[in-house]
Amino acid sequence: MNTELNRRNVLRGAGSLIALPALESIAFRQFASAAEKASATPPKRMVFLGLGFGVTQETWFPNLEQTGADYDLPEGLKPLLRHQGDFTVVQGCSNQFSNEAHWGSTFWLTGANRFAVPGQNMSNSISADQVAARELGQDTRFSSIQLSSSDGSASGHGPGLSLAWDQRGKPVAGFDDPVQVFHKLFSADDLPLEQRQAAIAENRSVLDAVLTDARRVQRGLAMTDKDKLEEYFQGIRDIETRLSKDEAWLEVPKAQSPIDEPGSGLKGRAEVEVMYDLIVAALQTDSTRVMTYRMPGQSLLQSMGVTLSAHNVSHYSPGERMQASQARDKAHCELLAGLIDKLKATKEADGSSLFDHLALAFGSNISSIHYLTNCPTVLTGGGANLKLGQHLALPKDTPLCNVWLTMLQGLGIDVERHGDSTGVVKELQA
């Protein structure tokens, strides 16, 4: 075992110590014996697929008078018919602090009070996927993987680099190129081991120097400045944790890819299909157990032959715009149905499927147009002990974070609340 990793269980600076409690698990967990891994129950995973501009309200949501298992799939969800017994549609949820009409993902997984920090135009908090990654990501090379699209703001997602936000409410970067994702997951590092070790050591030296300088100016600061400095220290601790994890995996070869390298320049529907393949491959090889995908909107429409902008399609009315919106919904559900097919077909060592140990959410912070209530929400996968195969209509403006809390606890993650949650959704629990 790397003695340098043991030495670096704390970050030293100006006579003070900053403890890094996650490092012990990082150092030891991934060295479990092959026998232990072979006999273990397949691990839990979590995936979020986020839309930008929402859905077509009139044709996507099930009839509120039909709840439970005996409900008719609306036209917008019809492509999912073959999986109807394995997903649940939830209505009635919203994020109470979200008030930006075209921010379809910024607060979707956080439920943050954007005005919690005085003087800031926008603030956020940790997203549900990153809460899961703190526990589920301890044993994998990548604590989480964030996928995005080159569409960005053109698809109604709002600020952010992916669906993920760290514990300080800062955006987590995502990959918008399937080729880059493939190489990140499966391609061997080009640099020799010694050079990679030297790079980590150099980054640590920089961190130590920065921390020492920061400590020198800590005394005598006003409370607001101390708060800013503590956020800075947390950023340093986060970097140190990532460096330690990188070091722990330096000599562990990456998994062999179960799929071929994707072609370059993929956009729209082709991009989504390949990103879904990469999600399955990443989970199948246990390269990570937590993934998010901030999905394309504009390029998806273009790949479907729609010349309207994603923004204009979101502001639909009966006619061409509404038809384009409905076609987009159908495409998304066809793609989601294909992803579920692959998750069910991918087998674990014990004969169960990847689907059986996964919790997946598909949806948006926007229902349609500028409406931020009744966030479209589809839940699937057997990993979180959710009651699937139902249409669930919750009271209006139920915190969406209640759903995320239910999923997190169902995965065995010890968390009492998330965002603006008020409790778990008992109707979701199997």
Give tens-digit pLDDT for 7-19: 333 333 333 333 3
Q: Is the pLDDT of residue 4 over 80?
A: no
Burial state string for 388-419 with b = 16 or more CB within 10 A and e = fewer than 16 = bebbbbbeeebbbbbbbbbbbbbbebebeebb
Contact 353, 344 (CB under 8 A): yes
For residue 201, give both structure tokens.
């050591």
Contact 88, 386 (CB under 8 A): yes
For residue 101, the model assigns a pLDDT of 86
Q: What is the mean pLDDT of the chain?
A: 86
Q: Are strands 10-13 and 145-147 parallel, antiparallel or unpaired?
A: unpaired
Q: How far apart are CA 206 and CA 197, in angstroms?
A: 15
Task: Name the percent of the chain lying above pLDDT 70.
Answer: 80
Q: Per-residue pLDDT averaged across 15-32, rounded?
A: 39
CA 22 to chain centre: 21
Give tens-digit pLDDT for 152-199: 778 899 999 999 999 999 999 999 999 999 999 999 877 676 777 777
Q: Is the pLDDT of residue 93 over 70?
A: yes
Please state whether the predicted TM-score (pTM) of the whole model is above 0.75: yes
Q: How far apart are CA 112 and CA 110, in angstroms?
A: 5
Count the alpha carbons within 13 Å of 188 in the hemisphere toward its beta carbon.
8
Supply the angle between the helices 320-345 and 268-284 in degrees, to the nearest 10. Answer: 20
171 DSSP β-pair partners:
165
Q: Per-residue pLDDT averaged across 359-383, rounded?
A: 96
| Stronger pLDDT, 217 or 122, i.e. the higher one | 122
Interacting residues of 346 by C-beta distance below 8 A, sequence separation 6+ = 280, 283, 284, 353, 354, 355
Q: Is the pLDDT of residue 80 over 60?
A: yes
For residue 191, the model assigns a pLDDT of 64
Q: Is the pLDDT of residue 247 over 80?
A: no
Q: Is the pLDDT of residue 220 over 80?
A: no
Closest CA to 156 of 51, 58, 60, 56: 51
For residue 115, the model assigns a pLDDT of 75
Per-residue pLDDT band at 363 (split at 50, 70, 90):
very high
| Stronger pLDDT, 63 or 217, i.e. the higher one | 63
Q: How far apart are CA 217 and CA 211, in angstroms?
A: 10
| Stronger pLDDT, 302 or 25, i.e. the higher one | 302
Q: Is the pLDDT of residue 306 over 50?
A: yes
Contact 298, 155 (CB under 8 A): yes
Q: How far apart are CA 114 and CA 129, in angstroms?
A: 19
Residue 59: its H or E element: helix 57-60
For residue 81, give both structure tokens.
């018919």
Closest CA to 109 of 156, 164, 59, 30: 164
Contact 124, 165 (CB under 8 A): yes
Contact 229, 218 (CB under 8 A): yes
Q: How far apart are CA 383 and CA 381, in angstroms?
A: 6
Contact 8, 23 (CB under 8 A): yes
- C-alpha distances (whole Å) from 33 to each of 42, 45, 249 are 15, 21, 15
Q: Per-residue pLDDT averaged across 253-260, rounded?
A: 95
Contact 123, 115 (CB under 8 A): yes
Q: Is the pLDDT of residue 267 over 70?
A: yes
Q: Per-residue pLDDT averaged across 140-151, rounded?
A: 94
Pick from 5-9, 71-75, 123-127: least confident: 5-9
Supply the angle between the helices 128-136 and 400-410 in degrees, to the nearest 10. Answer: 10
For residue 216, the model assigns a pLDDT of 66
Q: Which domains does the chain have, with CATH numbers?
A: 1-36+192-252 (no CATH), 45-188+266-428 (3.40.720.10)
Supply the angle between the helices 178-186 and 268-284 in degrees, to the nearest 10. Answer: 10
Q: Which residue has the tokens 């949806």?
A: 363
Pick from 67-76, 78-87, 235-244, 317-326: least confident: 235-244
Q: What is the DSSP letter of 341?
A: H
Give tens-digit pLDDT for 381-398: 999 999 999 999 999 999
For residue 229, the model assigns a pLDDT of 63
Q: How far apart are CA 250 and CA 246, in angstroms?
A: 6
Phi-psi map region of 34: left, alpha, beta (phi>0 left; psi -120 to 50 alpha):
alpha
3-state secondary structure of 282: helix
